[in-house]
Amino acid sequence: SSGINAEYGVILDEKYGNKFAARFTALTKKEVMGSGNIKKLLASLTPLASCIQFEENKCVLSQIMLMLCHRYPRVRKGIADSFYTALITFDDAIDGCDEVVEVLESTIWDD
């Protein structure tokens, strides 16, 4: 079956979803790695977090964890907010979703 990401107008087929998430994560990582451009970093967060909807999402989760430890508080806060929204939207995307949401809600990310 196909899924439509209305926000970005992308049609994704389940057969190719796993490759999409891995490729998108790799390209995003390459683009923002070491970047001091806050606008570029912030622009990458919501699309990255949305990739947790795919079955093979370990590479996405790894990149999200790295972004949660970013040196810029706005990036940490941004990825926490985007990840929280993605988890609420795709609540079956990861095991222990409720616990992760609780940590995201209770942590002050922009300190």
Q: Quote the pLDDT of residue 20.
A: 82
Res. 77 pLDDT band, cuts 50 70 90: very high
Q: What is the DSSP string of the chain?
A: -EEEETTTTEEEEHHHHHHHHHHHHHHHHHHHTT---HHHHHHHHHHHHHGGGSS--HHHHHHHHHHHT-SSHHHHHHHHHHHHHHHHHTTTSSTTHHHHHHHHHHS-TT-
Q: Quote the pLDDT of residue 46.
A: 94
Read off the pLDDT of residues 10-37 as tens digits, 9 standing for 90 and up: 445 555 555 788 888 999 999 998 888 9
- Give yes or no for residue 67 having a pLDDT over 50: yes
